[in-house]
Chain A
Amino acid sequence: MTISYLIITAGIMSAIIYLVSKFNWKAGTILQTLTFLIIGYFLYHNGDYSSSQLAIFNNISLNFTYSYFNEIFLYLGISVMIIVSLFSIDGIKNYQYKPVYNFLTTLIFMSILGVFGAADFITLFIFWELMTWVSFFLISMGKKYSKKAALLFLFMSMIAAYLMITGIFLIDNAVGGITFSNLINNYGSISYSLKFKILMLFVLAGLIKGGVYPLHIWMRTSYSESPDSFTSILSGILMKFGFYLIYLIGLFFPVAFILKNNPSKLISELPSSTFFAYLAGISIIIGTIAAILQNDAKKLIAFSSVSHAGYILLAFTYGTSMAFAGGVTHILVHALTALGMFLSIGAVYFRTGTTKIDELGGLIKNMPLTFTTYLVSIISLAGIPPLFGFVSKWMIYQSLIINGSYFLAFAAFFGSIGSFMYVFRPLAGVFLGQRPKKFENVKEVPFFMKAGMLIVTILTVLFGVLPGLVLKPIISMQQSIGIEPIKASLYRLFSGLTTLDMLVVFTVFGAGFILALIIFLLFAKPTRVKQHEQYTAGEIVPELQTQPSIYHYAKNYYKPFSRIFDKFPSMEKLYKKGAEYLSSSFGVIEEFFYEESINGYIWLISITFLVIIAIRWF
Chain B
Amino acid sequence: MYTKKLMEKIKNIIRGHSLFMLHYCTGCGAIELPPTMTSRFDMERLGIAPMATPRQADILLITGYLSAKTLRRVIYTYEQMQSPKWVVGFGSCTINGGIYYDSYSTINELDLYLPVDLYLAGCMPRPEAIINGFERLIEKIENGDADGWKHYKQNREWYKKNQKQALGDSLYTTR
Chain A residues engaging chain B, CB cutoff 8 angstroms: 529, 533, 535, 538-540, 542
Q: Which residues of B contact A535 (CB under 8 A)?
A: 53-55, 80
Chain A residues whose C-beta falls within 8 Å of the C-beta of B55 in the assembled complex: 535
Q: Is the CB of A540 within 8 A of B80?
A: no
Q: Quick check: A540 and B54 within 8 Å, CB to CB?
A: no
What is the minimal beta-carbon distance from A543 to any residue of chain B, in angstroms?
A: 12
Contact status A538-B172, CB under 8 Å: no
- Report yes or no: B53 in contact with A538, Cβ–Cβ below 8 A: no
| Of B54, B74, B77, B172, the contact of A542 (CB 8 Å cutoff) | B172
Question: With A535-B55, A538-B74 given, can you name 8 additional A-B contacts, CB distance below 8 Å?
Answer: A529-B174, A535-B80, A538-B73, A538-B76, A539-B73, A540-B76, A540-B172, A542-B172
Complex interface bits, B40-57 against A, C-beta within 8 A gives 1, otherwise 0: 000000000000011100
Question: Distance (Å) between the CB of A274 and the closest chain B CB?
Answer: 52
| Interface residue SS majority, chain A | loop
Asked if A538 contacts B24 (CB within 8 A), the reply is: yes
Flag if A538 contacts B77 (CB, 8 Å). yes
Interface positions, chain B 88-143, Cβ under 8 Å from A, are: none
Chain B interface size, as a band, is: 10 to 19
Cβ 8 A contact of A540, one of B24, B53, B73: B73
Q: Give Cα distance in the complex from A539 to B70, angstroms.
A: 10
B72 at the interface (CB under 8 A from A): yes
Known contacts A535-B53, A535-B80; A540 and B72 CB within 8 A of each other? yes
CA distance A492 to B167 in the complex (A): 68
Q: Are B174 and A533 in contact (CB under 8 A)?
A: yes
Residue of A nearest to B72 (CB): A540
A-B contact pairs, 18 of them (CB 8 A): A529-B174, A533-B80, A533-B174, A535-B53, A535-B54, A535-B55, A535-B80, A538-B24, A538-B73, A538-B74, A538-B76, A538-B77, A539-B73, A540-B72, A540-B73, A540-B76, A540-B172, A542-B172
Closest to A541 in B: B172
Residue of A nearest to B171 (CB): A540
Report the minimal beta-carbon distance from A539 to chain B, rounded to whole angstroms: 7
Residues of B within 8 A of A542 (CB): 172
How far, in whole Å, are A116 and B72 apart by their CA atoms in the complex? Answer: 69
In the assembled complex, which residues on chain A have CB atoms less than 8 Å from the CB atom of B172?
A: 540, 542
Can you name the residue of chain B whose Cβ is closest to the Cβ of A529? B174
Q: Please provide the 9 A-B residue pairs with the shortest distance between their CB atoms, ordered closest to farther.
A: A538-B73, A535-B53, A540-B172, A538-B77, A533-B174, A540-B76, A535-B55, A538-B76, A535-B54
Task: Report which residue of A529, A538, A539, A540 has the largest number of chain B beta carbons within 10 angstroms of its beta carbon.
Answer: A538
Residue numbers in A under 8 Å from B174 (CB-CB): 529, 533
Give the distance to chain B from A522, nearest Cβ to Cβ, in Å. 13
CB distance from A531 to the nearest CB of B (A): 13
- Name B77's closest neighbour in chain A (CB-CB): A538
B52 to chain A, nearest CB (A): 9
Which residue of B has the minimal Cβ distance to A530?
B174
Rounded to whole Å, the gap between the CB of B151 and the closest CB of chain A is 20
Cα–Cα distance between A542 and B173 once the two chains are bound (Å): 11
B10 to chain A, nearest CB (A): 14
A540 to B54 Cα, complex, angstroms: 14
Q: Which residue of A lies closest to B54 (CB)?
A: A535
A-chain residues with CB within 8 Å of residue B76 when the two chains form the complex: 538, 540
Which residue of chain A lies nearest to B24 when distances are taken between CB atoms in the complex? A538
Docked complex Cα distance between A542 and B74 (Å): 16
Bound Cα distance A71, B76 (Å) = 65
Q: How far is the CA of A542 from the CA of B172 in the complex (A)?
A: 9
List the A side residues contacting B80 at CB < 8 Å.
533, 535
Q: Closest CB of chain A to B19's CB: distance in Å?
A: 19
Q: How far is the CA of A538 from the CA of B78 in the complex (A)?
A: 9
Residues of B within 8 A of A529 (CB): 174
* Residue of A529, A533, A540, A542 contacting most chain B CB atoms (<10 Å): A540
With the chains together, A538 CA to B74 CA distance in Å?
7
Residue of A nearest to B53 (CB): A535
- Give the contacts of B1-47 with A (CB-CB under 8 A): 24
Expressed in whole angstroms, the Cα–Cα distance for A540 and B174 within the complex equals 10
Q: Which residue of A lies closest to B170 (CB)?
A: A540
Q: How far is the CB of A465 from chain B (nearest CB, A)?
A: 37
Residue of A nearest to B79 (CB): A533
A538, B55: Cα distance in complex, Å: 12
> In the complex the two chains form, what is the Cα distance from A535 to B54 in whole Å?
7
User: Would you give the shortest CB distance from B40 to chain A, in whole angstroms?
Assistant: 29
Give chain A nearest CB distance to B53 CB in angstroms.
Answer: 5
A534 vs chain B, min Cβ distance (A): 9
Closest to A538 in B: B73
Question: In the complex the two chains form, what is the Cα distance from A542 to B76 in whole Å?
Answer: 12
Chain A neighbourhood of B54, CB < 8 A: 535
A249 and B174 alpha carbons, distance in the complex (Å)? 66
Residues of B128-175 contacting chain A, CB below 8 A: 172, 174
A235 to nearest B CB, angstroms?
41
Distance of A533 Cα from B54 Cα, bound (Å): 12
Q: Determine the distance from Cα of A366 to Cα of B73 in the docked complex, in whole angstroms.
A: 32
CA distance A540 to B74 in the complex (A): 10
Min CB gap A528→B, angstroms = 12
A238 to B45, CA, bound (A): 65
Provide the bound-state CA to CA distance between A582 and B98, in Å.
80
> How near does chain A come to B18, taking the closest CB pair, in angstroms?
16
